[in-house]
Amino acid sequence: MSRGDTIDAITLEVLRHAFTAVAEEMNANLIRSAYSPNIKERRDCSSALFDAEGQMIAQAESIPVHLGAMPFSVAAAVEAVESFSPGDVVVLNDPYAGGAHLPDITFVAPVFAEGRLIALVANRAHHADVGGKEPGSLAGDTVEIYQEGLRIPPIRLWRRGVVDRDLLELVLLNVRTSGERWGDLRAQYAACRTGIDRLSEVIDRFGLETVSEGMGAILDYAERRMRAEIARIPDGTATFDDVLDDDGVTDEPISIRVSVTVDGDRITFDFAGTAPQVRGPVNAVLAVTTSATYYAVRAMTDPEIPPNAGCYRPIAIDAPLGSVVNPEPPAPVVGGNLETSQRVVDVVLGALGRLVPERAIAACQGSMNNLAIGGTDPRIDRPYSIYETIAGGFGARPTRDGVDGIHSHMTNTLNTPIEALEIAYPLRVERYELRKGTGGAGRTRGGLGVRRDIRSLGPDARVSLLTERRRQRPYGIAGGESGSPGENVLIRDDEEIMLPAKGSLSLAYGEIISVRTPGGGGYGPPDERDPEAIDADRREERV
């Protein structure tokens, strides 16, 4: 008998609201009290509630890449700490011990009631810098994780509510903007307090027994809903292959392969056949591969199922150890989170689409188009650095074109307004527009990529690019054509110089970095396209 048998249909729904509120209020408080724009504006953070055994009960996330990764953090924290005391807070970022990539720092704190551990709360936020070889800790050409920044194993940064000053100073000494970091770390600590207080209120209201049983019931409930969804997918096995352009260090394409098997109400993803881990920073730790897989399953089934451990019980993931989707240390990983995660989604959706063609989607742009620019601002003679991701084409759907110029899959962070960017940095945006003709043709058309041209108005800016789909196109399906690949271009005296997908370069005064993002793949034979849609595309200069 499961724990949840005594929870009725009404209490279940009321507790679902209550547990969701705990996670969402924790996250709202984190966003509200964070210092840096990356958390506060771009909302690159998430918060979750776990039971005492580390099963995730409820999660609030604003970007999918955190989706399946938090349970790894909690498991690592529980393993590292033999016995929690009230007021303890475990902090970690090591991708090989519960993290995803170093800039994501996760907090885990216990919740006690009636003298015993009854739950854990956790939150994760992307910090603007955690040390390493380049400002922003997102270098595209590292070969070891040691170059990527400070690694924090699961440590108790707070013991019984008191911060460990020694550890804190060690952490802050190893990052570039320590004041801002401490502000954001405090916000994460405050969010843990919020989570603990809110869950304690829920326990006061409903009673410890009901809450404990309710947690079990919520897991069983989500599991039932996910099983019902999986059962609607025909049994069978489908395999899908795709590649990453390169690892930023060597020039070889990197194969990602998944085989999905649906058996009744269970589903298994096997990444056997995926390339071994690589030298450059596109290795995705298992937490990232898991997040990307969960994202794809949620998107293909019912996204309204509460994102908790029960929802994921029917999903098994096998990723060979030592592969690019489950690397061993000290492989560098920063781009695994940013770029490889997108390709994992592409293969998982590709394989699932073969089992349920009516819900299939062509490939989206498949990159976050990470662009970092840094240098000295001649107006104030101070260093500056800016990090952006750039939208591209969405994949075509069976009855709808792909959306033009929009973020897809594992990210959803905002752009920087042009007027804000030009005020804050010695840069000028020369163009920000859709790329005509880049969407894959089809019965429904892939979304258009975007062109963003930025001119440097300072001396010798450094540009870092961590991008994908510059050679391999986003695939079309069911007879649809692939989307156009992206291009990174340096414009010097009106001459266009092609740049690699990943790497760094200097930008002299007046030179332009032009990032042109990929279009989405098309769906269905192009000759079946509705003539009216063709007319509209021509009239609106989209093809």
Site for other proteins in 56-85 (CB under 8 A): 61-64
Dist CA 294 CA 288 (whole Å): 10
Taking CA atoms, 245 is separated from 42, 185, 249, 372, 468, in Å, by: 27, 36, 11, 20, 6
CB-based contact 241:25 (threshold 8 Å):
no
- Minimum distance of other proteins from residue 425's CB (angstroms): 9
Closest CA to 518 of 405, 359, 387, 353: 405
Scored b (16 or more CB within 10 A) or e, 449-487 reads bbbbbbbbbbeebbbbbbbbbbebbbbbbbebbbbbbbb
Dist CA 104 CA 95 (whole Å): 9
- Minimum distance of other proteins from residue 397's CB (angstroms): 6
When asked if residue 5 is in the footprint of other proteins (CB under 8 A), the reply is: no
> Out of 24, 164, 241, 265, which residue is the one contacting other proteins (CB under 8 A)?
24
When asked if residue 430 is in the footprint of other proteins (CB under 8 A), the reply is: yes
- Minimum distance of other proteins from residue 300's CB (angstroms): 7
Dist CA 419 CA 528 (whole Å): 42
Site string for other proteins, 157-196 (x = CB under 8 A): -----------------------x--x--xx--x------
Q: What would the 3-class secondary structure string for 475-521 be?
A: CCECCCCCCCCCEEEEEECCEEEEECCEEEEEECCCCEEEEECCCCC
> Out of 16, 127, 151, 443, which residue is the one contacting other proteins (CB under 8 A)?
16
- Minimum distance of other proteins from residue 36's CB (angstroms): 8
Site string for other proteins, 329-368 (x = CB under 8 A): ------------------------------x-x-------
Question: For residues 259-318, which are near other proteins according to CB under 8 A?
Answer: 295, 298-300, 303, 305
- Minimum distance of other proteins from residue 107's CB (angstroms): 16
The residue (of 154 and 350) whose beta carbon lies closer to other proteins is 350
> Out of 434, 499, 501, 507, which residue is the one contacting other proteins (CB under 8 A)?
434
Helix/strand/coil for 124: strand
Dist CA 407 CA 167 (whole Å): 38
The residues, any chain, with a CB within 8 Å of residue 222's CB and separated by 6 or more, are 305, 306, 307, 308, 310, 311
Cβ burial of 533 (10 Å; 0-12, 13-18, 19+) is middle
Residues in binding contact with other proteins, number by CB under 8 A: 78
> Out of 188, 323, 370, 408, which residue is the one contacting other proteins (CB under 8 A)?
408
> Out of 52, 208, 225, 533, which residue is the one contacting other proteins (CB under 8 A)?
225
- Minimum distance of other proteins from residue 481's CB (angstroms): 19
Only segment of 114-122, 153-161, 389-397, 464-472 that touches other proteins (CB under 8 A): 389-397
Question: For residues 103-122, which are near other proteins according to CB under 8 A?
Answer: none
The residue (of 199 and 249) whose beta carbon lies closer to other proteins is 199
